[in-house]
Amino acid sequence: MQILNRDEIKFADEYTIQHEPISSLELMERAARACVMNIINRVDDNAPIFVFCGKGNNGGDGFAIARILIERSYNCTAVLVNYSPNFSEDCKANYDRLKELKPDAIVEINSESDLGKINFTSDVTIIDALLGTGLNKPLDGLLKDIVEFIRKNFLKVISIDCPTGIFINASNSPDDSIVLSSTTLTFQYPKLAFFMAQNKWYVPEFEVLNIGLHPHLTHLIKAKQFYIGKNDIKQLITKRHKFSHKGNFGHALIIAGNETMRGAVSISAMACLRSGAGLLTVHSVSKAIDALMCNLPEAMSSIDANSEFICELPDLKNYNVVAIGPGIGTEQETADVLKKLLNYTSSSLVIDADALNILSENKTWLSFLPPETILTPHPKEFDRLTEEHNNDFDRYATARHFALKHKVIVVLKGTYSSICMPDGSSYFNSSGNSGLAKGGSGDALTGIITGLIARGYTAPKAALIGVYIHGYAAELATRKLSKESLLASDVIDKLGKAFLKLED
């Protein structure tokens, strides 16, 4: 699913209007009906609904929504906020249609004090249709007053297309007034702002509504940003051939662990084999290998000469993918191992955790990264690798530039992990939940991606499938377990079921 900016969204609407053909008012009606079908599943039949409407096209959506709800016998009132003397043409048309249907269903607000005219009850649902995607400066005046009133007084708020006050392609200031929506119903394409952690209070949940924009738009708009879901990943999955053998599915090497971080070895190794690798060798210190052999006898081992931390690079000739980082620490001898690996390997690389921290202290080594190396930092690791960032938009922009500059793949981990590709494209992941916010989850992801590359997927496909299936397995696990109690091992246990559902 494409993620579009303001200009691309405007083009999509205009192209549909011209080539379907359909009038802009009819398209607005289509959008409003899609919203209503969603809203009626979220509200009680008799609960009061107040639709706060602006005077632009987002307000036009709001007036159409209010009219359709009233036609369906819902207790709905439209609140017109007169922050401007002029309506947009389609907004005025829908205002007039509602006024003709039920004049007393419209309350006009000229100042914040006018809100006292309205009897808001505790079970009220607010529909936010004040402003759409065109905002490019912070709210002020009456609009700001109304948004602050909504923020302070209501918990159940459904925003139409985007919460009023939010910038869809740039960072808001912390003191900007933005509607705190409980749900956002957005049209056809998600907005970039929805995926940024800094906006978690404004867009805790969103749903993309299909309003029938022209099907040719997918090919006409050369989007570089995407939101990936189950169907996208299903198209990437390939099934094993009947006559396959273990040699067909690669040999992975994982360099992980030290004397005090032994668990990372078992987690990443188990995830790797559960993700399709034909063979796996793990290089670590002796105590970590001893624990691994008890937990995962299917893995092979390579024991480092040092009993405390890794100081040797094993022979690389047998491996088609090497992962390094989970639990290795940052000792100088271990750093030297990473440097040798970068200089001598011809295998695909996955770099995580402490290996990223070593790179951040040796940034000249970035020039050694082989093309399509996969790096899997969380935000703090990425900032150490690049620079400090003041907001999520800037960090994401840096990740895209970093991937393009170094011809690597950056998996910037988060609620909606972004996978930034060497060609400048990027993908936000839709799967997962907060149960993954626990130690070991990143080690499991490293293992999954490594196993997928060993199995034969290209690095870009392995990154996309790996991030998605990691989150999807967490979703499956929390159908019976709480998010609080979820462990990385629980996620790994559900990988088999996750693959089965994607292969079906």
CA distance 34 to 28: 10
CATH topology of domain 6-223: Rossmann fold (3.40.50)
Instruction: Supply the DSSP symbol for 434.
Output: G
CA distance 187 to 223: 16
Taking residues 153-168, report their average pLDDT: 97
| pLDDT computed for residue 117 by the predictor | 85
| pLDDT computed for residue 37 by the predictor | 98
CA distance 131 to 278: 54
Same CATH fold assignment for domains 6-223 and 247-503: no
Q: What is the per-residue pLDDT across 291-309, written as a single tens digit (0 to 9) for each?
A: 999 999 999 999 999 999 9
Q: Which residues lie closer than 8 Å to 367 by C-beta, 6 or more apart?
A: 406
Strand partners, 126: 50, 157
Q: How confident is the model at residue 142 (pLDDT cuts 50, 70, 90)?
A: very high
- The single-letter code of the amino acid at 457 is Y
Q: Reply yes or no: is the peptide bond before residue 21 cis, omega within 30 of 0.
A: yes
CA distance 76 to 69: 7
CA distance 68 to 246: 60
Nearest to 475 by CA among 429, 415, 432: 432
Longest distance between any two alpha carbons in the chain, whole Å: 85
CA distance 196 to 386: 19
Reply yes or no on whether the pLDDT at 113 is more than 90: yes
Instruction: Supply the DSSP symbol for 314.
Output: -
Domain ranges of the chain: 6-223, 247-503
Backbone angles phi, psi at 134, to 5 degrees: -85, 0
Is the distance from CB of 160 to CB of 129 less than 8 angstroms? Answer: yes
Give SS3 for 293: helix
Q: Which residues lie closer than 8 Å to 170 by C-beta, 6 or more apart?
A: 393
| pLDDT computed for residue 134 by the predictor | 84
Q: What is the per-residue pLDDT across 3-51, written as a single tens digit (0 to 9) for each?
A: 999 999 999 999 999 999 999 999 999 999 999 999 999 999 889 999 9
Q: Token pair of 458, please?
A: 């290209």
Element (H, E) at 283: strand 279-284
Q: What is the per-residue pLDDT across 456-480, written as a single tens digit (0 to 9) for each?
A: 999 999 999 999 999 999 999 999 9
Is the distance from CB of 268 to CB of 322 less than 8 angstroms? Answer: no
CA distance 55 to 142: 13
Q: What are the helix (H) ranges across 181-234?
A: 217-220, 230-234
Task: Give me the residue label for tokens 């800037």.
Answer: 394
| pLDDT computed for residue 504 by the predictor | 84
pTM of the model: 0.96
Q: What is the per-residue pLDDT across 331-348, written as a single tens digit (0 to 9) for each?
A: 999 999 999 999 999 999
Task: Give me the residue label for tokens 């040092």.
Answer: 306
CA distance 339 to 369: 10
Give SS3 for 241: coil
Reply yes or no on whether the pLDDT at 235 is more than 90: yes
Taking residues 396-419, report their average pLDDT: 98
Provide, rounded to the nearest whole percent, the portion of the chain with pLDDT above 90: 98
Is the distance from CB of 293 to CB of 314 less than 8 angstroms? Answer: no
Element (H, E) at 309: none
Phi-psi region of 250 (alpha: psi -120 to 50; beta: other; left: phi over 0): left
Q: What are the helix (H) ranges across 4-49?
A: 6-19, 24-39
CB burial of residue 183 (10 Å; 0-12, 13-18, 19+): middle
Strand duo 225-228 + 206-209: pairing:
unpaired
Q: Has domain 247-503 been given CATH number 3.40.1190.20? A: yes
Reply yes or no on whether the pLDDT at 70 is more than 90: yes
CA distance 98 to 301: 73
